[in-house]
């Protein structure tokens, strides 16, 4: 009797460097590829931008499997994953259920229950790690506790060998006999609105797109990455984060290709950033409360000043600080934002405006194509100073200086805030300091073509430091 394994795809939408698939092929199983999207499951409450990406990533995987002779089965939208998997098993000759682990709290809870159920039913249920580089159950500091600081974490893993799994795709034997009743269109992942600034043209959300982006990045841009990574007006970041998020390229595959350049600068620059992603996954695994609660409990009592008008102005790129507004508009238009600018806009929200970091995390979750729960959580807790490796709360980014330092030509602001394109560079990052005649000559009236600042930098900084002092006074000595 032929052995059939149901290969359950999740955030690992690739056939290359896929441990679950590789194990099944080596063990002589026929493969029944399966993906499930359910409106009922918490971990699939995706934002609009990631839903768009998932539609295209799934289409790409479906086409690749079809070209190899298989059929990707899609689970019913209205059935939770555990129930859908049981139905597939009952209506087929599947004897094994295989998947690559995800490390979000809701998925861990669900997967643990599913594995126990199938083992009880005599079905071989096994999970693998192809999502991250190292199993978080095996990485601890010298005290035997999870790392909370990145540099020791990174150094502890530096000498570990990273090797992607190789599977000869032409050797895969696909199971047949099941009809694919659900289509990708059934999932209704595409947005009902169309972006005006070319969102759909900004990306190639396929595995081919990921490999092409990597080829463009290596080796020259990767070598220059440490020196130019903070320049949002230049194209010197890999922009591979959405492909990594949905697993269209694997982290081991990426690190292996980066290290094949045999360049110390790439190792200390780009590879280090892949490990920052790794660190985020480990933290979320060990501290599952952190998507909504601060890593350090004392920050739960921080004196935020919730203000819906402030939040809306920030979301819409109407704060009156050009580099902040440029970043927020880039995010809305493309589903992505340069990492330096993410830090600037995040700092502005939680410090100048004293809005809870969770509000920023929620907005990023809905608008980023690379909105990964581990990375989104770590990034916002870092900005707020409440998480691992957190920036001290008293460090308040000056959005004027940040713009002048990292958008030195002004090209980034001019692209995303075109109403300021004729403002002289001297005043581009601080139009509120420009003489009225200079602004008039540039066709700008503050409060009309471009907003007045919703708060001045000195007042925002004072507000942040005052809140921090109030917070310190409330803590036990």
Instruction: Enumerate residues 6+ apart whose C-beta is below 8 A from 231.
Output: 340, 406, 407, 408
Report yes or no on 270 lying in a domain: yes
Token code pair at residue 248: 């269209």
Instruction: Enumerate residues 6+ apart whose C-beta is below 8 A from 56.
Output: 205, 206
- The helix (H) or strand (E) run that includes residue 131 is none
Q: Which strand ranges, in their side-by-side order, compose the sheet holding 30-35?
A: 73-74, 30-35, 4-9, 96-100, 124-128
Instruction: Enumerate residues 6+ apart whose C-beta is below 8 A from 297.
Output: none
120 in the same domain as 142 = no
Which of 222, 256, 286 terminates a domain? The answer is 286
Beta strands in 46-95 (DSSP E): 73-74
Which of 258, 286, 314 terminates a domain? The answer is 286
| Residue 160 backbone class (left: φ over 0; alpha: ψ -120 to 50; beta: rest) | beta
| Domain of residue 138, residue span | 132-164+199-286
Report yes or no on 416 lying in a domain: yes
Report yes or no on 204 lying in a domain: yes
123 in the same domain as 149 = no
31 in the same domain as 110 = yes
- The helix (H) or strand (E) run that includes residue 126 is strand 124-128
330 in the same domain as 242 = no
Residue keyed to tokens 């985020």: 280
CATH number at residue 205: 1.25.40.80
Report yes or no on 361 lying in a domain: yes
Residue 390: per-residue pLDDT: 65
Residue 92: per-residue pLDDT: 85
Q: Spell out the alpha helix ranges (H) of 175-263.
A: 207-217, 220-228, 241-245, 251-259
pLDDT tens, residue by residue, 144-172: 999 999 999 999 999 999 999 999 999 99
The candidate with the shortest Cα–Cα distance to 73, out of 37, 39, 33, 20, is 33
Residues of the chain with pLDDT under 50: 43-44, 197
304 in the same domain as 272 = no
Rg (CA), the chain: 24
262 in the same domain as 321 = no
pLDDT tens, residue by residue, 107-130: 999 999 999 999 999 999 999 999
- CB 351, CB 31: distance < 8 Å: no
What is each CA distance from 321 to 142, 306, 460, in whole angstroms?
45, 20, 12
6 in the same domain as 124 = yes
This prediction's pTM: 0.94
280 in the same domain as 269 = yes
Residue 418: per-residue pLDDT: 97
Report yes or no on 175 lying in a domain: no
Concatenating the DSSP letter of every residue in 9-50 gives ESS---STT-HHHHHHHHTT-EEEEEE---TT-GGG---HHH
Report yes or no on 174 lying in a domain: no
221 in the same domain as 92 = no
139 in the same domain as 91 = no
Domain count, the chain: 3
56 in the same domain as 112 = yes
Report yes or no on 58 lying in a domain: yes
Which residues pair with residue 33 across a beta bridge? 7
CATH number at residue 105: 3.40.50.620
Report yes or no on 188 lying in a domain: no
389 in the same domain as 270 = no
| Residue 152 backbone class (left: φ over 0; alpha: ψ -120 to 50; beta: rest) | alpha
């Amino acid at each position: 009797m032929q052995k059939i394994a149901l290969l359950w795809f999740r955030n690992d939408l690739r056939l290359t460097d896929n441990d679950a698939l590789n194990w099944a092929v080596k063990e002589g199983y026929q493969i029944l590829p399966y993906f499930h999207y359910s409106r009922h499951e918490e971990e699939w409450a995706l934002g609009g931008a990631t839903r768009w990406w998932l539609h295209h990533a799934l289409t790409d995987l479906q086409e690749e499997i079809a070209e190899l002779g298989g059929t990707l089965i899609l689970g019913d939208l209205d059935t939770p994953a555990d129930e859908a998997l049981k139905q597939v098993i009952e209506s087929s000759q599947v004897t094994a259920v295989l998947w690559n682990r995800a490390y979000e709290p809701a998925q861990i809870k669900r997967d643990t229950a599913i594995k126990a159920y199938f083992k009880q039913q005599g079905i071989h249920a096994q999970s693998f790690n192809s999502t991250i580089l190292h199993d978080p159950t095996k990485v601890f500091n010298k005290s035997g506790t999870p790392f909370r600081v990145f540099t020791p974490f990174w150094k502890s893993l530096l000498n570990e060998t990273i090797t992607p799994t190789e599977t000869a795709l032409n050797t895969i034997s696909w199971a047949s006999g099941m009809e694919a009743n659900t289509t990708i269109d059934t999932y209704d992942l595409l947005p009902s609105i169309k972006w005006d600034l070319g969102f759909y043209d900004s990306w190639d959300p396929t595995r081919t797109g990921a490999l092409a982006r990597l080829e463009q990045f290596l080796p020259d841009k990767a070598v220059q990455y440490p020196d130019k990574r903070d320049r949002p007006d230049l194209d010197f970041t890999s922009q591979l984060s959405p492909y990594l998020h949905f697993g269209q390229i694997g982290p081991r595959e990426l690190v292996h290709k980066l290290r094949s350049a045999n360049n110390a600068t790439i190792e200390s620059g780009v590879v280090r950033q892949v490990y920052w992603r790794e660190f985020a996954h480990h933290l979320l695994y060990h501290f599952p409360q952190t998507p909504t609660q601060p890593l350090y409990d004392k920050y739960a009592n921080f004196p935020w000043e919730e203000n819906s008008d402030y939040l809306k102005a920030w979301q819409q790129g109407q704060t009156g600080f050009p580099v902040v507004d440029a970043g927020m508009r880039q995010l809305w238009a493309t589903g992505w934002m340069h990492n330096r600018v993410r830090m600037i806009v995040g700092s502005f929200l939680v410090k100048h405006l004293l809005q809870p970091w969770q509000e920023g995390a929620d907005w990023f979750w809905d608008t980023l194509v690379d909105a990964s729960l581990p990375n989104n959580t770590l990034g916002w807790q870092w900005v707020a100073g409440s998480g691992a490796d957190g920036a001290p709360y008293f460090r308040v980014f000056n959005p004027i200086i940040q713009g002048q330092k990292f958008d030195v030509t002004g090209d980034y602001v001019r692209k995303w805030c075109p109403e300021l394109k004729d403002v002289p560079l001297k005043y581009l990052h601080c139009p509120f300091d420009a003489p009225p005649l200079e602004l008039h000559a540039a066709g700008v009236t503050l409060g009309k073509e471009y907003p007045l600042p919703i708060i001045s930098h000195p007042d925002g900084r004072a507000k942040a430091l005052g809140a921090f002092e109030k917070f310190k006074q409330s803590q036990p000595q």
